[in-house]
Amino acid sequence: MSFNLVKTYNGGKARVGELVTPHGTVPTPVFLPVGSQATVKTLTPQEVSDIGYGMLLTNTYHLCLKPGIDVIEGFGGLHRFMGWDGAILTDSGGYQIFSLAGLRQISDEGVTFRSHIDGSKRFITPELAIDFQEALGADVIMVLDECPPIDADFNKVWRAMSRTHLWAERCQKAHRHDNQMLFAIIQGGVFLELRHQSAEYLTSLGFPGYAIGGLSLGEPKKVTWSVTEETITLLPEDKPRYLMGVGSPEDIVEAVAMGIDMFDSALPTRVARNGALYTRTGRINIDNGEYKKKEEPVDSDCGCYTCQNFSAAYLHHLFNCKELLALRLATIHNLTFISDLMGDIRKSVLNDTFGSFKEDFLKHYKPTDEEVRLEQKKKWLQARNADN
């Protein structure tokens, strides 16, 4: 396991690297599709690989509930269980401390979850989080952390950060496998003072990689970028930097410009299943009536299976009829879009043209309106909490 910095853009902070894992070398910057329950929804592992992905993310908390860590361990780990030959990063379950706040009790010792499936209780300590991830056989594993809500006050965020530091040290002591990279997670909410404290403390422990957590939770983007940019300056240049939960195209480009190497988000696949498809000019809603008779594909310049074989009118029809194929074709398109974007970013850094690439991309790509985005995020979190 290693991270090799290949090139930094001449005139900026964007960079290209290689994350070397037992299951292949992953070029960075890289986006990880989310497969929380050992599947990227609607697609086979081979389809995900064929699109161009060599690494994905799964979730320890969800796999602990179903099918159970012991079941997957009995198969020799996640790779064989899910039929995936590429690299895997497992989230520790720390995000669920935030997203399932109504179903958990937390202390310095660990966190007790009440299962959203059957109500049974699961107590997870930092040591158990590491044991679970080692049993899953992931290539990159994460410390257990406490992610506070974005509107939490200073004292609450400080307590969450302090607990994250305590847990990170315990995770590091419990980690035994040399063929797995253990990443620490910087917390501190929107408070730059706390971000400084968190980064300084965790980098002093010498982890092989660092994630920036606790962002993209509903805060304005200008806040996201100010916190991210400030935090990056405190992280080692020779280790991978992972911005958790960020996956919109314009945000990826902005974050790469700051020096981020890794991303994950369920956004591209989730919005695909709701009929929102990426193009170089922004996101479109295939349900709109303007696509009912459109003979051209969603994106004439896209080389994905969907755009090479089907019209926008056909996708409009599938979504209108609630056909399952609609979800698959839209997911293929969105993941291809993000994969192509990452490839174009890497090429531009290697060619020292990233500055013009970024300017051109952001000039033509129209992001979702900020107020609409924040409202959508709020509704999604409310619906998630209601379901649980």
Catalytic residue among 145, 251, 261, 264: 264
> Any catalytic annotation for residue 91?
yes
Q: What residues are paired with 284 via a beta bridge? A: 277
Q: What residues are paired with 89 via a beta bridge? A: 57, 140
Instruction: Report strand pairing: 276-279 vs 55-59.
Output: unpaired
Q: Can you read off the two tokens belonging to residue 110?
A: 């660990």
| Three-state secondary-structure class, residue 95 | helix
Q: Can you read off the two tokens belonging to residue 82?
A: 């899910």
H or E, element range at 232: helix 221-232
Q: 3-class secondary structure for 179-231?
A: CCEEEEEECCCCCHHHHHHHHHHHHHCCCCEEEECCCCCCCCHHHHHHHHHHH
| Three-state secondary-structure class, residue 293 | coil
Q: Can you read off the two tokens belonging to residue 104?
A: 């958990």
Taking residue 80's Cβ as centre, other Cβ atoms within 10 Å add up to 13
C-alpha dist (Å) from residue 345 to 24, 255, 355: 20, 11, 10
Residue listed under structure tokens 């660092």: 210
First-residue to last-residue Cα distance in the chain: 37
CA dist., res. 387 & res. 217, Å (int): 18
Q: Can you read off the two tokens belonging to residue 182?
A: 């253990």
Angular region, 151: left φ>0, alpha ψ -120 to 50, beta rest:
alpha
Catalytic residue among 91, 251, 299, 340: 91
| Three-state secondary-structure class, residue 28 | strand
> Any catalytic annotation for residue 108?
no
What contacts 383, CB < 8 A, 6 or more positions away?
A: none
| Three-state secondary-structure class, residue 11 | coil
Active site residues: 91, 264
